[in-house]
């Protein structure tokens, strides 16, 4: 089974991305061949600032490595290091009706906002299908929001195979519905769009400040509190050990504990969990050669697979397996 997923480099990853996407994907590398990439071509639909693009691409790659992606086992690469996906996007675009793209959630949402929509945004699902199909991917772990895109990729594979023969493997989405929705600083789903995120690699002081800004009710130290409705506790449950969580819950239910104490406990639990990885993250970015070596090895492996699948698709649809001239 080959597992594949991509993360867009549009910001520094946050705690929701860690628990909702990155950690589950890292567990999958234990049992499957995994291809994980930085979806920079997709990010370009919204991020059109070259300096930020360069920075976030590296930050996302360093995040994977700092958290335990093993580059000897899992291919980690930049989407744009496999330009074959852009070519496959064209072959797939020609077997897809525009209606399917007009029905895509992301496009409809952009339209509802009255935003000016670039053609890249419209074609987003086709590029994503090319990402998935070009590696003969079997399983695509994604959040619920991306399920429709994986289904569209499957539909494009079926349409192409129907017209040109069995070229593509049909992928299955692996929806993480067992993973809780991680709450943000205000208790709503943690999301860049709500501005309520805790970025993963904040320096210690800034991490503390963020945690101190979590919204709570106005109960005082002597009031008893309900842990189950508290945003601080909701995050603590994700970082504390079961004993620590039970202990803090008991303190909520008795007088004598203020929210400041709970926030301090959360800060310490997060620091324990993230501190060592942060040191590794900072070293990877500062030094750079290990990061580049991992990305280069990943790109080499990914490109080898992509070239073979693209050759199959080209030949099936009446083209030469490879262009006459090699890339100069
Ligand atoms: P954002 O909502 O901040 O833009 P993304 O859509 O870039 O986040 O997130 C990438 C992946 O991370 C999502 O597909 C989802 O699986 C996971 N994810 C993001 N936020 C959360 C969250 N609050 N709880 C659980 N998983 C999340
Ligand atoms: N669209 C995905 C997201 O926004 C990122 C992505 C791009 C992706 N290509 C992919 C995910 C291929 C899985 C497979 O989260």
Q: Is the pTM of this model over 0.85?
A: yes
Protein residue whose Cα sits closest to atom 21 of ligand 1: 16
Pocket of ligand 2 (CB under 6 A): 4-6, 8, 39, 42, 128, 131-132, 140, 142, 146, 149
CA-closest candidate to residue 229, choices 187, 199, 195: 187
Say how far apart CA 255 and CA 280 lie, in whole Å: 40
Range 237-266 burial, b when 16+ CB lie within 10 A, else e: bbbbeeebbeebbebbeeeebebeebbebb
Half-sphere exposure of 59 (CA within 13 A, CB side): 17
Distance 39 CA to ligand 2 centre (A): 7
20 Cα nearest atom in ligand 1: 26
DSSP symbol at 181: P
pLDDT in tens, 48-107: 999 999 999 999 999 999 999 999 999 999 999 999 999 999 999 999 999 999 999 889
Say how far apart CA 252 and CA 82 lie, in whole Å: 52
Among 151-160, 260-269, 319-328, whose mean pLDDT is lowest? 319-328
Mutate to test the pocket of ligand 2, among 10, 40, 131 (most ligand atoms within 8 A of CB): 131
Protein residue whose Cα sits closest to atom 26 of ligand 1: 20
Which helix H or strand E contains 3, and what residues bound it? strand 2-7
Q: What is the pLDDT of residue 327?
A: 75
DSSP symbol at 144: G
Look up residue 90 and give its two tokens.
């064209």
Say how far apart CA 59 and CA 282 lie, in whole Å: 9
Q: What is the pLDDT of residue 328?
A: 77
Domains of the chain, CATH where assigned? 2-181+288-316 (3.40.50.620), 201-284 (1.10.240.10)
Question: Cα 33 to chain center, whole Å?
Answer: 18
pLDDT in tens, 254-311: 999 999 999 999 999 999 999 999 999 999 999 989 999 999 999 999 999 999 999 9
Among 135-144, 176-185, 276-285, whose mean pLDDT is lowest? 176-185
Q: How far is CA 175 from each of CA 28, 42, 158, rounded to the nearest angstrom?
A: 13, 20, 21
Pocket of ligand 1 (CB under 6 A): 7-8, 16-17, 20-21, 142-143, 145-146, 179, 181-182, 189-193
Residues 6+ apart with CB under 8 A from 269: 236, 239, 240, 244
Structural Rg of the chain based on CA atoms: 22
Mutate to test the pocket of ligand 1, among 16, 179, 195 (most ligand atoms within 8 A of CB): 16
Which helix H or strand E contains 62, and what residues bound it? helix 50-66
Answer for the pair 56, 11: CB distance below 8 angstroms, yes or no: yes
């Amino acid at each position: 089974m080959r597992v594949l997923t991509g993360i867009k480099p549009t910001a520094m990853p946050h705690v929701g991305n860690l628990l909702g996407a990155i950690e589950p994907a890292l567990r999958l590398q234990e049992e499957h061949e995994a291809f994980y990439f930085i979806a920079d071509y997709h990010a370009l639909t919204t991020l059109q600032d070259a300096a930020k693009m360069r920075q976030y691409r590296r930050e996302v790659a360093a995040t994977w490595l700092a958290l335990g992606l093993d580059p000897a086992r899992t291919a980690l690469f930049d989407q744009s290091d496999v330009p074959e996906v852009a070519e496959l996007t064209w072959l797939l675009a020609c077997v897809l009706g525009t209606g399917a793209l007009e029905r895509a959630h992301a496009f409809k949402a952009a339209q509802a906002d009255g935003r000016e929509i670039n053609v890249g945004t419209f074609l987003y699902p086709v590029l994503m299908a090319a990402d998935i199909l070009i590696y003969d991917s079997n399983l695509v772990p994604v959040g619920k929001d991306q399920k429709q895109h994986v289904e569209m990729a499957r539909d494009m594979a079926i349409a192409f195979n129907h017209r040109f023969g069995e070229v593509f493997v049909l992928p299955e989405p692996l929806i993480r519905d067992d993973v809780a929705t991680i709450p943000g600083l205000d208790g709503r789903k943690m999301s860049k769009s709500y501005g309520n995120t805790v970025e993963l690699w904040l320096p210690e002081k800034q991490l503390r400040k963020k945690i101190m800004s979590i919204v709570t009710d106005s109960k005082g130290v002597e009031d008893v509190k309900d842990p189950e409705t508290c945003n601080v506790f909701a995050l603590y449950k994700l970082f504390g050990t079961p004993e620590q969580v039970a202990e803090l819950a008991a303190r909520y239910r008795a007088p004598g504990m203020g929210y400041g104490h709970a926030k301090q406990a959360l800060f310490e639990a997060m620091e324990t969990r993230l501190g060592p990885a942060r040191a590794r993250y900072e070293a990877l970015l500062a030094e750079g050669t290990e990061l580049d070596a991992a990305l280069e090895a990943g790109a080499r492996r990914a490109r080898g697979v992509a070239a073979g699948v693209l050759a199959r698709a080209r030949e099936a649809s009446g083209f030469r397996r490879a262009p006459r001239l090699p890339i100069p």
